[in-house]
Amino acid sequence: MSQVTFKNVSKEFKVNKGVSSWAVKDFNLQINHAEFVSFLGPSGCGKTTTLRMIAGLEENSHGQILFDQDVVSDPLQKKFLLPEKRNVGMVFQSYAVWPHMNVFDNIAYPLKLKKMSSQEIKKDVMAILDLVELAGLENRKSHELSGGQQQRIALARGLVMKPRILLLDEPLSNLDAKLREKMRKDIREIQQRLNLTMVYVTHDQKEAFQMSDKVVVMNQGHIVQVGSPQEILNNPVNEFVADFVKN
Amino acid sequence: MKKAFYILCLIIVIGLFIAPLGYLFFVPSLSDLFAVLQNENTLKAAKNTLVVSTLVSIFCLLLGLPLAWLITRTDLPFKNKWRSLFCLPYAIPPFVGAIGWIILANPTSGVLNQWFGLNLNIYTLAGLVFVETSFLFTFVLLTALTVLDRMDSSLEEAARLSGASGLRVFKDIGLPLLKPAIISGFILSFLATAASFGIPALIGGPARIYMFTTQIYTYQRMGTSNGLQMSIAVSVILGLFTLGLLYVSQKFFGANKNYTVSGKTARPSFIPLNRWKIPITFFLSALFTIIFILPIFGLLLSSLSPVQGVWNFASLTLNNFTRVLFETEETARAIYQSFILGLSAAAICTTFSFFFNYFTYRTTWKGRQWAQLAISIPFSTPGTVLALALILSLSQGYFGLGPSLYNTLGLILIAYVIKYSSLSLKTIGDGYQQIHPSLEEAARISGAGWWTIMRTIYFPLLKTAMMASVFLVFMPVVSELTMTILLTGPGLETIGTLIFQLQEYSDMGGGGASVLSVLVVAFVLSLNLTLKILSKGRYGL
């Protein structure tokens, strides 16, 4: 049973009267439980839009998106589950750490909304802080921390809510090379330890191949190739993939 | 040459922006100040100013903040239309709106009272607060829109994915992040109310609610040396109060960071209004009709009615227009003089800012920062205070030197330049910041000197910003009232003072003030539209 299913999903933008452009077109994909899937492609290929459609931050204009067997978005049935009801975690490229809350409050926020008791919240937050190696920093002002630490707060906030799926939108692109290398390993390790489904958006082929179970190569709103890193490296379906993968 | 220009600029700053205003504070002795503070009228004006300004700024927040949030963050239909519409009152001189409301809701012959059998009386504290709010909420709206537009929307998206819905996102994330904007919006609208003259004079006067500004005007109009002394003392109190409040807000909230991290998301997701969509749209339409369309309708009706107070559509005529425009020589003179003053002020402010900003953004020379501050102070100073300062220091020549400027257009022009340079400076300054210094360096390597660089690099690149600056200074100046009314004299009518005098003293039955008000509204709105089109939407409301 797949955890997220895309059936002929498209996202259309009306540019002018009668003229439209497609951010994503005829997207079909299954994302399985506990799988690490990367969307790989040049900027503007539709990978972030696809990710935001899983979160419910964008609404697809055609097709269906399913979580397990449940339809979460289908414009024909006028069905659309709001992002706050989806229990999906997300790590943003810009971190999106709330500057007016300290580290603890940032991470505790989703739990407070679930009306958990403050003791439970404390226990869960502390456990997650350990996991992302931020233990001891819970009372610090979040916007005073380094970029790498802020990214860990964002990761912790996404994990603490025990999401059905965690989405990561180029989370490492603002970090320096050395830190990026360590974060890649840490994220993959956490994913395997928690047996969590993750969807990861990147334009860095090395990153995608190093971390993923499945890589989805995209270009101009279309899927070009889906497969394990090995398959794609050994058998690129066309020149675009071969060229993109080569470097 | 570059250095000489800079020194000239600094001399202008010290001589015009600092000296007259600074001098004002040293004129009254401490005992004068204490005497005026014990004066019953002053105390009443102080109390009224505090009460009215506090009420107005609270209502401005209540109106401006939700509006800004609806426009930027929800799936409200026609968002951009609402944005332009609700910013419009910012462009219109408030005293024109006051005249509109007097026509609509004066107790004896108000249009609304007559037509709907209501008992509205605009000459009350509530009326005064209402009319002030209907214009000044734009201060809060514009500040909040700037912050919300620049705020990284993923901060709010992260909250939604954590499980927070619409209003909860606003309460937990939007509101705390808007705090600096809320505080500065509150202070801005408070100061704007305390500095306003037209509305308190036209509406507060008949209601016997005197504020500092109208009290100063009354004292000054007495024409005696005692009256002048009193008006100076009250000005000093109002000036100190304003500058004190500005200083406190800078000191405590100036450092408060606006959290506007890289807004990477091009199109933020909008919070759905669902079943509230229609009620909210309906409410906004009603609100806009009341605060904007109604007073303009009142002006239009009055300008077309042959007998003021008899309101119907049957007898509408253009007679008022022909009489006011072509049969009185004051009108032509007022329009001519307002245009000359407006164009000169706009040209002077823009030229000065073109050069001064170069020194601010392209050199590290001493004094440029405090000069920048000094130019911004008169803009926040109530016009009434500024006008008195100029009367004191410039009416007998410049501090006693040279020819007298009293009762000349020159003095009025100087007042406009001092007050509105700040608008120019900011607009052109933003332009400079968008030009990479390497463009100048490349020209220098090619052999261009400073003057050539100004002429061939900066001037062409800053053309749009300079055009915007001309418009932004011209628009408030062409119908300025607060300062002009204190500086004007026989034969020195401007559009603003003529409307004020027609409304206050003469022509009560003739609709003359309404005719000119309608023209001012139409003119200012079309100027704003022109600016928007010419600058491809970058400037203008």
Q: Do A86 and B161 touch (CB under 8 A)?
A: yes
Q: How many CB atoms lie within 10 A of CB B140?
A: 27
Q: How high is the pLDDT of residue A120? A: 93
Q: How high is the pLDDT of residue A247? A: 64
Question: Would you place residue B310 in the very low, low, confident or very high pLDDT band (cuts 50, 70, 90)?
Answer: confident
The mean pLDDT of chain B is: 90
Q: Do B161 and A93 touch (CB under 8 A)?
A: no
Q: Chain A partners of B274 at a C-beta cutoff of 8 Å?
A: none
Residues B450 and B2: beta-carbon distance below 8 Å: yes
Q: If you measure CA to CA, which chain A residue comes closest to B161?
A: A84
Q: Chain B partners of A100 at a C-beta cutoff of 8 Å?
A: 176-177, 179, 259
Q: How high is the pLDDT of residue A99? A: 86
Q: Where in chain A are the domains?
A: 35-56+82-246
CA atoms within 13 A on the CB side of A215: 26
Sign of CA dihedral B188, B191, B193, B198: negative
Q: Assess whether pLDDT exceeds 60 at residue B266.
A: no
Q: Which range, of A136-140, B100-104, B333-337, B409-413, averages the lowest pLDDT?
A: A136-140
Question: Would you place residue B262 in the very low, low, confident or very high pLDDT band (cuts 50, 70, 90)?
Answer: very low
Nearest to B173 among A55, A92, A98 (CB): A98
Q: If you measure CA to CA, which chain A residue comes closest to B165?
A: A84
Question: Would you place residue B264 in the very low, low, confident or very high pLDDT band (cuts 50, 70, 90)?
Answer: very low
Q: Measured between CA atoms, how close is A202 to chain B, in angstroms?
A: 15
Tokens at residue B321, please? Answer: 């227009």
Residues B33 and B236: beta-carbon distance below 8 Å: yes
Q: Do B157 and A83 touch (CB under 8 A)?
A: yes
Query: Which residue shows structure tokens 């999401």?
Result: A163
Residue B65, Cβ density class (10 Å: 0-12 exposed, 13-18 middle, ≥19 buried):
buried
Portion of chain B with pLDDT greater than 70, in percent: 96
Is the CB of residue B182 less than 8 Å away from at least one CB of chain A? no
Q: Element (H or E) spanning B73, and its range?
A: helix B40-73
Cα–Cα distances in angstroms (integers) from residue A149 to residues A128, B168, B321, in the given order:
14, 27, 69
Q: Which range, of A208-212, B106-110, B163-167, B342-346, averages the lowest pLDDT?
A: B163-167
> In b/e form, how buried is each residue of B297-313, taking b as 16+ CB within 10 angstroms?
ebbbbbbbbeebeebee
What is the distance between the alpha carbons of residues B20 and B5, in angstroms, rounded to a whole number?
22
Q: How high is the pLDDT of residue B515? A: 94
Q: Considering only CA atoms, which of B123, B210, B161, B492 is closest in space to residue B341?
A: B492
Q: What is the pLDDT of residues B74-85, one digit of tens each?
A: 889 999 899 999
Q: Assess whether pLDDT exceeds 90 at residue B10.
A: yes
Chain A contact probe: residue of B151, B154, B162 with most A CBs at under 10 A: B162
Which domains occur in chain B, in start order?
A: 37-317 (1.10.3720.10), 321-541 (1.10.3720.10)
What is the distance between the alpha carbons of residues B381 and B511, in angstroms, rounded to a whole number?
33
Per-residue pLDDT of chain A (247 residues; tens, 9 = 90+): 568 999 999 998 877 777 788 899 999 999 999 999 999 999 889 999 999 999 998 889 999 999 999 999 999 999 999 888 899 999 998 888 888 889 999 999 999 988 999 999 999 999 999 998 898 998 998 878 888 899 999 999 999 999 999 999 999 888 888 888 899 999 999 999 999 999 999 999 889 999 999 999 999 989 999 999 999 988 899 999 888 887 6
Question: Would you place residue B267 in the very low, low, confident or very high pLDDT band (cuts 50, 70, 90)?
Answer: low
Question: Would you place residue B263 in the very low, low, confident or very high pLDDT band (cuts 50, 70, 90)?
Answer: very low
Q: If you measure CA to CA, which chain A residue comes closest to B175?
A: A100
Q: How high is the pLDDT of residue A19? A: 79
- Quick one: average pLDDT of B347-372? 93
Q: How high is the pLDDT of residue B345? A: 97
Is the CB of residue B211 less than 8 Å away from at least one CB of chain A? no
Gap between the terminal Cα atoms of chain B: 38
Is the CB of residue B173 less than 8 Å away from at least one CB of chain A? yes
- Quick one: average pLDDT of B10-38? 90
Q: Do B158 and A52 touch (CB under 8 A)?
A: no
- Quick one: average pLDDT of B42-59? 96
Q: Chain A partners of B147 at a C-beta cutoff of 8 Å?
A: none
Nearest to B177 among A88, A100, A157 (CB): A100
Chain B contact probe: residue of A109, A112, A125 with most B CBs at under 10 A: A109
Q: Which fold has domain A35-56+82-246?
A: Rossmann fold (3.40.50)
Q: Measured between CA atoms, how close is A235 to chain B, in angstroms?
A: 35
Question: Would you place residue B21 in the very low, low, confident or very high pLDDT band (cuts 50, 70, 90)?
Answer: very high
Q: If you measure CA to CA, which chain B residue comes closest to A84?
A: B163
Q: What is the pLDDT of residues B314-336, one digit of tens each?
A: 889 998 899 888 888 889 999 99
Q: What is the pLDDT of residues B220-247, one digit of tens each?
A: 988 888 888 899 999 999 999 999 988 8
Q: Do B161 and A84 touch (CB under 8 A)?
A: yes
Q: Do B152 and A154 touch (CB under 8 A)?
A: no
Q: Which range, of A146-150, B132-136, B515-519, averages the lowest pLDDT?
A: A146-150
Portion of chain B with pLDDT greater than 90, in percent: 64
- Answer left, alpha or beta for residue B256, where phi above 0 means left and psi between -120 and 50 means alpha: beta
